Structure 1
């Protein structure tokens, strides 16, 4: 059946009379011609479409009401509202698209992803782990830094060889990684490499021996057992091999490859011996950490190195010599429950600072302001037990000799919970120390991996945690140091500072029998007005019987 209009000039009011869900009755067909055909001709509607056309055409049959025209102002306001609505809608759509695109990249949710080694993983993985497979060779060639830490790698793709401008590479904490690819040699600008906590790598990869650009190498907490001369980068200045399994370094060629090293970290290995000839060839060596090993003797050539200034030997049982007896009152053992929190009394001043060997917080004991250093345990400097022995030998008389004294030793092994408190002390040990006078600040800031061994003296802003809890405000101290650039020290300032430092070292060496091992500006608190100072932090100290210089 098809429907067509008889005459376009006739009144539209008689086209269709709409009834809900009913066909047009014969009586009301009016000027509509109904005819049957096997195939509708062009322009005609199929029979099934009539019911859908009726609601549309019915409106044509109704007479137009005399509705006054809408004011132009209302029309413009309506159009403005419509534009605002659609603009907001578009903004929301764009935001959702960007959000879900970010989600799809794996930054905020767990999904099925591709590792940089090409394997499939259902684990959550940051997008940085797929950098080598996601970027083109030209993009990799412009990359200067790459972080593949904790990416669960089994290997590093050969595409890393395209990163010719790469300067900093981090591949730590990938337990299944077994070696580094030979293509790494093509990263001719690479100067800093961190590959710590990778127990799957048993020996130094040979490719490193061919990388002349590498100057800083961090290989901490690994499984290295030996060092091969052919695998040692030839131009290193900072080498960290702390907490591996190295038992000996008797090959003089290894030290020859390390002849430019200024800072050498070898603590917490199993080293029994070092090549005397090799050690003597390290003319640029300034700092060496040998704590926590099993050394049988110290190479004689070590003491004749022209630039050597920092040495740590604590925790070597065959070398260890107990400190001489303390002349003053012995330090008592203090229980955690005897300490009173000052967090409510001095707002935001309970935390005093943090170093390599521990965190320092403020407390009260017997009505006295004290500072507590909670010992971390194993550090790059030495062991916690060795530091506790040093403070025990120092006793309570250190402050009179410009050394931060030991009020007592903290024993958290018997810490108990009473009314829900002090459970966080359980098993911890530390040192309860005298609090410094108000206004004391760090003489300098510690070096970064860039400075290697040189303290940061100039253009260094004093940070909040460099202030003593009872000291001046940061603004007051900054004004004393002249803010960003500290003024040149006066001759009087230098005289008082040197005098106090010499007094502290004489007391440690001659009276206590300790080598401090870490004399740095950042281990010295100074009065910025007078130059009077105190030496602190015995984390790298070691006992001597006077036979070593």
Structure 2
């Protein structure tokens, strides 16, 4: 984090990224002295309500974060920033998004947790749009012009007021990751599964070290003192109350429970009851530390693609075991009426023998378990996510794959990623195809 004193003293000349969070109520004009180099500007966590009309003087500016401020309108001056591709205005109380506020090269727009009821038609006139984060607003519909955004891959519209998914949304050729939980349109979680999940008293759990923390909650290692059975090591996830970029943490918890049992899912032992602050939480299977994340989150540059380390390599047997496991668990989820919504390498834990676990249900949504055009399209959107993952695995196989098998797997990848959504195979067919390799 940089300081205002450094900026005013001229100590930051030539930097490409500036991070200022110091209670700002006005945009510091000294920032313009960095115009020749500044590419990323992060002013999140201040008290700003406006930006200067001549912001376009920052001619190299590509990324702007202004989350957790006091804007009630997306500033029109953004539209004049010719190189601006990523905008983040989460949790501001924004009510209006003028069409003129959208820069021509917009690629990634984050407007999570605001008060937006309507979006401008100009949004669909941004041909580079790839990621659109709109969870936690008041939207009843999306602008139909978005049907023209053929590069759009990720949409988060959870926790809005939509009563139906537009038909054109389910035909977008590149749409890969979709989250819509918490809208009136959504099928409810299986109440029987939720009711059947055992309650585990908070007093029976002894929290130990923190294992990790994400947008939706904190995970601890813990000891569960089971009545009559003795203690067992478990993982405890305590959910936060805030809206995440994917949606509500409580929807995530319901999806984890409804998903049920599968060898490639982290087993849920029960729901926490009697927490002193009434915090929601789950007790889950503790994963052996030999498992590790398959990939890292996408970067600002990669936008919608995971980041793999250079030394991430597999034998064909390991890669195919992982691909088969993920296809199998995706088929299982779809049978339960769940789309994962975030089927990515960074949400997969893997072991060097090829065993793997799909986690993070923060973007999961429910759909009808009957076979109809909408449920089929929702499932085939997720098939494209699998196709992307399969391609990433194939790129990293360094031994054991014949030319003939590689060709067949590349054809499967292409079928999964084809522009015709309903022309893609379902996961039952994919599972059988992988068994033949």
What TM-score comes out, normalization by structure 1 length? 0.63
Q: Which position in structure 1 is the counterpart of 2:402?
A: none
CA–CA distance in structure 2, aligned partners of residues 339 and 535 of structure 1: 25
Q: Which position in structure 2 is the counterpart of 1:502?
A: 327
Q: Which position in structure 1 is the counterpart of 2:112?
A: 242
Q: CA deviation at 1:214?
A: 0.8
C-alpha offsets along residues 336-395 of structure 1, whole Å, 9 cap, x if unaligned?
A: 111134x4xxxxxx3222222222111122222211111122211111221222233234
CA–CA distance in structure 1, aligned partners of residues 349 and 14 of structure 2: 44
Q: Which position in structure 2 is the counterpart of 1:100?
A: none
Q: Which position in structure 2 is the counterpart of 1:319?
A: 185
CA–CA distance in structure 1, aligned partners of residues 88 and 235 of structure 2: 33
Give the SS at the match of 1:274. coil
CA–CA distance in structure 1, aligned partners of residues 43 and 85 of structure 2: 16
C-alpha offsets along residues 10-45 of structure 1, whole Å, 9 cap, x if unaligned?
A: xxxxxxxxxxxxxxxxxxxxxxxxxxxxxxxxxxxx
My pick for the range that moved more, 214-223 or 434-443, is 434-443
Q: Which position in structure 2 is the counterpart of 1:183?
A: 54
| Structure 2 residues not aligned, in runs of 5+ | 378-437
2:389 is equivalent to residue 538 of structure 1: no
Q: CA deviation at 1:286?
A: 1.2
CA pair 503-127 structure 1, distance change in 2 beyond 3 A: closer
2:210 is equivalent to residue 358 of structure 1: no
2:345 pairs, out of 521, 524, 528, with 521
Q: Which position in structure 1 is the counterpart of 2:4?
A: 129
Contact 1:312/1:540 (<8 A) preserved: yes
1:373 pairs, out of 234, 237, 243, with 237
Count matched residues: 366
Q: Which position in structure 2 is the counterpart of 1:449?
A: 300
CA pair 457-144 structure 1, distance change in 2 beyond 3 A: closer
CA–CA distance in structure 2, aligned partners of residues 412 and 434 of structure 1: 20
Contact 2:222/2:235 (<8 A) preserved: yes
Give the SS at the match of 1:508. helix
CA pair 195-270 structure 1, distance change in 2 beyond 3 A: same
Q: Which position in structure 2 is the counterpart of 1:206?
A: 76
1:492 pairs, out of 317, 323, 332, with 317
Give the SS at the match of 2:87. strand
CA pair 149-499 structure 1, distance change in 2 beyond 3 A: same
For the aligned residues, what is the CA RMSD? 2.4
CA–CA distance in structure 2, aligned partners of residues 328 and 533 of structure 1: 25
Contact 1:132/1:160 (<8 A) preserved: no
CA–CA distance in structure 1, aligned partners of residues 34 and 307 of structure 2: 35
Contact 1:401/1:503 (<8 A) preserved: no
C-alpha offsets along residues 143-171 of structure 1, whole Å, 9 cap, x if unaligned?
A: 43333322432343276266232112122
2:384 is equivalent to residue 384 of structure 1: no
CA pair 156-292 structure 1, distance change in 2 beyond 3 A: same
Q: Which position in structure 2 is the counterpart of 1:407?
A: 269
Give the SS at the match of 2:137. coil
CA pair 255-158 structure 1, distance change in 2 beyond 3 A: farther
CA–CA distance in structure 2, aligned partners of residues 541 and 332 of structure 1: 22
The 5 Å alignment of 1:7-26 reads none
Contact 2:131/2:153 (<8 A) preserved: yes
CA–CA distance in structure 1, aligned partners of residues 349 and 51 of structure 2: 44
Q: Which has the larger radius of gyration?
A: 1
Contact 2:157/2:179 (<8 A) preserved: yes
CA–CA distance in structure 2, aligned partners of residues 269 and 328 of structure 1: 27
2:170 is equivalent to residue 303 of structure 1: yes
CA pair 392-255 structure 1, distance change in 2 beyond 3 A: same
What TM-score comes out, normalization by structure 2 length? 0.78
1:172 pairs, out of 44, 63, 68, with 44
CA pair 338-219 structure 1, distance change in 2 beyond 3 A: same
Q: CA deviation at 1:329?
A: 9.6
Q: CA deviation at 1:525?
A: 1.2
CA pair 323-153 structure 1, distance change in 2 beyond 3 A: closer
CA–CA distance in structure 2, aligned partners of residues 127 and 312 of structure 1: 35
Q: Which position in structure 2 is the counterpart of 1:46?
A: none
CA–CA distance in structure 2, aligned partners of residues 271 and 337 of structure 1: 41
The 5 Å alignment of 1:107-122 reads none
| Structure 1 residues not aligned, in runs of 5+ | 1-125, 344-349, 416-425, 460-484
Contact 1:184/1:207 (<8 A) preserved: yes
Contact 2:296/2:308 (<8 A) preserved: yes
